[in-house]
Structure 1
Amino acid sequence: MSSSDRTPHVVIVGGGFAGLWATRALARDPVRITLVDRGNHHLFQPLLYQVATAGLSAPDIAAPLRHILRSQDNVEVRLAEVQGIDTAAKTLALAEGTALAFDTLVLAAGATHAYFGNDHWAAYAPGLKTLDDALLLRRKLLLAFERAEAETDPEKRAAWLSFAVVGGGPTGVELAGTLAEIARHTLRSEFRNIDPALAKVRLVEAGPRVVSSFPDDLSDKARRQLQKLGVEVQTGTPVADIDADGYRLGDQRVAAKTVIWAAGVAASPLGALLDAPRDRAGRVQVDPDLRVPGHPDIYVAGDLAAIQSAGQPVPGVAPAAKQMGRHVAAGIRARLRGQTTTPFAYRDFGNLATIGRMAAVVHFGRLKLSGALAWWFWLIAHVFFLIGFRNRVVVLLNWTMAYWSYQRAARIIFGPPVDAEPVTPPDREGPDAPRIG
């Protein structure tokens, strides 16, 4: 921290859960904060799949950072991209060609997609980390049914009606279950040449079971609930290749025009700009108080930080990112007062994953729920944690209407066609935590 009499300048990179929670926790402290993000909004990423599957609109799960922080006088929001970090001079190089000086730096730039060395798959199997990703996926999913309606060749039509979600974690399970519901309920009676209910939705997981972060019995219940919705669950076989016309599982070639990637996460590339050790996912290995080894004025939080708590790795989830953000703020406050910082201790609030209508799994300590009760628990938790009263009301109204009508309110196709040639998702990192719980 600067030893001069001027107000210390804290620069926070990333407006996701970790960055925003750190910013708000410093509201009453004698610091000047600059929050830097490539986007102008905070995204509630746990519901991003709802935008991708036309259940919600983008503004329902996002809010402008300037609006969120409008009453916090010690914050300036900067829409910019960080391209370099000079730790000796304590400056950030921004894409606009300017330098931003800091006394304390907090890196909370989140995560991006990881294709395990097969980056060319990104053109054919987009992932889901940002609103741009969600809108691309929505267009791709809805256009698949339109292309099938216009196709006269049975084999080609079947390929358009074949959907694969790669990755059996919470995001993959939520996407697969929702896709099956769209095909069997939402689009019923809307087409003349195809029966959307005949669409094949397959969830592909390389490991032995889906939602492996849950206990075995809940994982098995999740699998059964997916199968009840009509999802074919394929475990124990990794995807060997993906191209514009389908994918390969071992020696089996599957024709499918729509493949969604939900299998891998890598830390933001900003971590590589620091002279610090990183793990295989690119996360910065930080000290127990979330500071970078050898750089006492630089903190890393959220998905970009690799740290253990109580002997276990801290997961990349929203509650962990929020807790890290608050802990970073507490560490900055302690140093301002000449006090020592304390190690970060993660409090695990459990796991939630929805599968479909009245189907979900919940794990909180000894509490294990599945089915309708878990679904209501999941719904209430997600509405409660949304940013802003308007977002909560709009999401609740949309879900209420969808529950009674099976309709999804955001089924408007716009933007360029996605089936003419491969479209690579934007190379940008999203906000911190990929999901809640």
Structure 2
Amino acid sequence: MAEQRHRVVVVGAGFGGLFATKALRNAPVDVTLINGTTYHLFQPLLYQMATGILSEGEIAPPIREILKRQENVRVLLGTVTEVDPEQRTVTAVAPGTSYTVEYDSLIVAAGASQSYFGNNQFAEHAPGMKSIDDALELRGRIFGAFELAELATDPATIERLLTFVVVGAGPTGVEMAGQIAELAHRHLPGQYDRIDPRKARIILIDALPTVLSTFGDRLSTTALRQLHLLGVEVELETKVVDVDETGIEVETRDGLRRIESLTKIWAAGVAAPALSRQLAEATGAKTDRAGRLQVNPDCTVPGHPEIFAVGDMMALDNLPGVAQVAIQSGKHAAGQIKRRLAGEEAGQPFKYFDKGSLATIARFHAVASVGRFHFAGLAGWLLWLVVHLLYLVGFKNRVTAVMHWFVSFIGRGRSERVATFQQVFARRALQQYRDHLP
């Protein structure tokens, strides 16, 4: 009877889980990759999907297609709800079923969820930007707002419909605000009879005193200036205190104020998924304020060297929740497993190599911080373009993305404007489905 090979279970097919799985391609292991969707999502480009530039297929290639040549991996659809460190099993649920998988080594890369800072009721009226469902709903809300404004006759209603509020002035919020501004001022004018899309208000709100606070003062100031040139109203040191169907209430130095708006977008804050809490309770590990697992320097969970937490799941050295951290920590975990199986010394600490930060503000204008070097304007935008092309998975996706970027940035079209009532109103049904999961 053949000896059973080392079993590795990878939870999540984001950057951390996918790159960990690929790093184990030639290792003497059997990998089971469990993910809640059938695709790998390139989250940094969700805002372009929401604003009609890219389609879902271009930023979410099928996992099975990506890994079709990797013979030692099995891909399973499911959301992992429980890890049993004693039995070394994970339990997952999928529509209509649940199952358990055994492991010898476990890599948990379940990503992060949107954080509303204890105000989860805001989600119904201010969708986040963490999933394709979010982006499709926002696409319907954004383009639908212009259509409804064309039908409206009451000036107050029109103004409410044409006011877009983005909460959070990090990269996602800045990129979203910039693209909505380009829609209103460059792409949509001339397509409506009764309204002028250029009169739309785009308001970017953040509780911090700067936009893109992690990019440094120079690039932050450059980004703020460009947002103003686009017509974005930036309100800093402004805290959101309530969100409802027709508006948002904020607290500033001058007191409370209400902004009437039908379309609100939440791009502020992330939190670890529920699995992080369950795993912390099961292993006795500590978590940080965002719920991320506090791991050892080699990304293992304290007391459980067979369990690795990587990417947005781990709290280590104040590392940011960005794609490069997930990619590099996923590869590190895979490397540790391979060293153990080869009988080599393991336990080396994870060393993150910061390749820089990028954020696009408008066509031909982005900011980039790469080590000691800072780029803005066209140079930053070209760097942003190259980096994002490199990390898009699949040749076909790169080609079609370039074509859509050409149409959107050189011309005035948006090739992915289709939105359905199902996309706009399905959030409640999806939430009810999630609430009934075991």
- Give the TM-score normalised by structure 1: 0.94
Query: Matched residue of 2:98: which SS?
Result: coil
Structure 2 distance, partners of 1:346, 1:273, is 27
Structure 1 distance, partners of 2:432, 2:312, is 17
Structure 1 distance, partners of 2:197, 2:414, is 15
**Structure 1 residues 424 and 127, CA gap change in structure 2 (3 angstroms):** farther
Identity of aligned residues (%): 45
**Structure 1 residues 242 and 213, CA gap change in structure 2 (3 angstroms):** same
Q: Where has structure 1 moved over 4 Å in runs of 4 or more?
A: 421-429
Matches within 5 A, 1:57-76: 57-76=55-74
Structure 2 distance, partners of 1:292, 1:101, is 18
Q: Could you tell me which residue of structure 1 aligns to residue 199 of structure 2?
A: 198
Structure 1: gaps of 5 or more residues: 430-437
How far is the alpha carbon of 1:341 from its aligned partner? Answer: 2.2
How far is the alpha carbon of 1:98 from its aligned partner? Answer: 2.1
Give the partner amino acid of 2:85: T
Structure 2 distance, partners of 1:395, 1:425, is 29
**Structure 1 residues 41 and 49, CA gap change in structure 2 (3 angstroms):** same
Query: Matched residue of 2:44: which SS?
Result: helix
Q: Could you tell me which residue of structure 1 aligns to residue 242 of structure 2?
A: 241
Q: Could you tell me which residue of structure 1 aligns to residue 269 of structure 2?
A: 264
How far is the alpha carbon of 1:230 from its aligned partner? Answer: 0.7
Q: Could you tell me which residue of structure 2 aligns to residue 223 of structure 1?
A: 224
Q: Could you tell me which residue of structure 1 aligns to residue 402 of structure 2?
A: 396
Q: Could you tell me which residue of structure 2 aligns to residue 341 of structure 1?
A: 347
Matches within 5 A, 1:10-49: 10-49=8-47
The count of residues paired between Structure 1 and Structure 2 equals 421
Q: Could you tell me which residue of structure 2 aligns to residue 433 of structure 1?
A: none
Q: Does 1:109 align with 2:114?
A: no
Q: Does 1:354 align with 2:360?
A: yes
Q: Could you tell me which residue of structure 1 aligns to residue 392 of structure 2?
A: 386
Which has the higher mean CA deviation after the structures are superposed, 331-340 or 196-205? 331-340
Matches within 5 A, 1:305-316: 305-308=314-317, 313-316=318-321
How far is the alpha carbon of 1:340 from its aligned partner? Answer: 2.1
Which has the higher mean CA deviation after the structures are superposed, 23-32 or 401-410? 401-410
Q: Deviations over 1:127-179 (max 9, x none)?
A: 01111111111011111111111111100110000000000000000000000
Query: Matched residue of 1:277: which SS?
Result: coil
Q: Could you tell me which residue of structure 1 aligns to residue 87 of structure 2?
A: 89
Note if contact 1:34-1:78 (Cα within 8 Å) is conserved in structure 2. yes
Structure 2 distance, partners of 1:191, 1:207, is 37
Q: Could you tell me which residue of structure 1 aligns to residue 257 of structure 2?
A: 252
Query: Matched residue of 2:145: which SS?
Result: helix
Query: Matched residue of 2:213: which SS?
Result: coil
Note if contact 2:138-2:424 (Cα within 8 Å) is conserved in structure 1. no
Higher share of residues assigned helix: 2
More contact order relative to length (CA 8 Å, sep ≥ 6): 1
Which has the higher mean CA deviation after the structures are superposed, 94-103 or 162-171? 94-103
Note if contact 1:124-1:422 (Cα within 8 Å) is conserved in structure 2. no
Give the partner amino acid of 2:357: N
Structure 1 distance, partners of 2:326, 2:365, is 27
**Structure 1 residues 100 and 304, CA gap change in structure 2 (3 angstroms):** same
Query: Matched residue of 1:181: which SS?
Result: helix
Give the partner amino acid of 1:85: V
Query: Matched residue of 1:416: which SS?
Result: helix
Matches within 5 A, 1:271-350: 271-274=276-279, 275=283, 276-308=285-317, 313-338=318-343, 339-350=345-356
Structure 1 distance, partners of 2:368, 2:268, is 21
Query: Matched residue of 1:105: which SS?
Result: strand
Q: Could you tell me which residue of structure 1 aligns to residue 4 of structure 2?
A: 6
**Structure 1 residues 144 and 183, CA gap change in structure 2 (3 angstroms):** same
How far is the alpha carbon of 1:402 from its aligned partner? Answer: 1.4
Note if contact 1:351-1:362 (Cα within 8 Å) is conserved in structure 2. yes
Q: Deviations over 1:75-122 (max 9, x none)?
A: 000011212111101111222232111111110000001001111000
Note if contact 1:133-1:425 (Cα within 8 Å) is conserved in structure 2. no
How far is the alpha carbon of 1:240 from its aligned partner? Answer: 1.6
Structure 2 distance, partners of 1:413, 1:224, is 32
How far is the alpha carbon of 1:404 from its aligned partner? Answer: 2.2
Q: Deviations over 1:29-56 (max 9, x none)?
A: 1000000001011111111111011110
Structure 2 distance, partners of 1:424, 1:207, is 34
Note if contact 2:136-2:424 (Cα within 8 Å) is conserved in structure 1. no
**Structure 1 residues 318 and 215, CA gap change in structure 2 (3 angstroms):** same
How far is the alpha carbon of 1:401 from its aligned partner? Answer: 1.6
Structure 2 distance, partners of 1:258, 1:175, is 12
How far is the alpha carbon of 1:417 from its aligned partner? Answer: 7.0
Structure 2 distance, partners of 1:428, 1:279, is 29
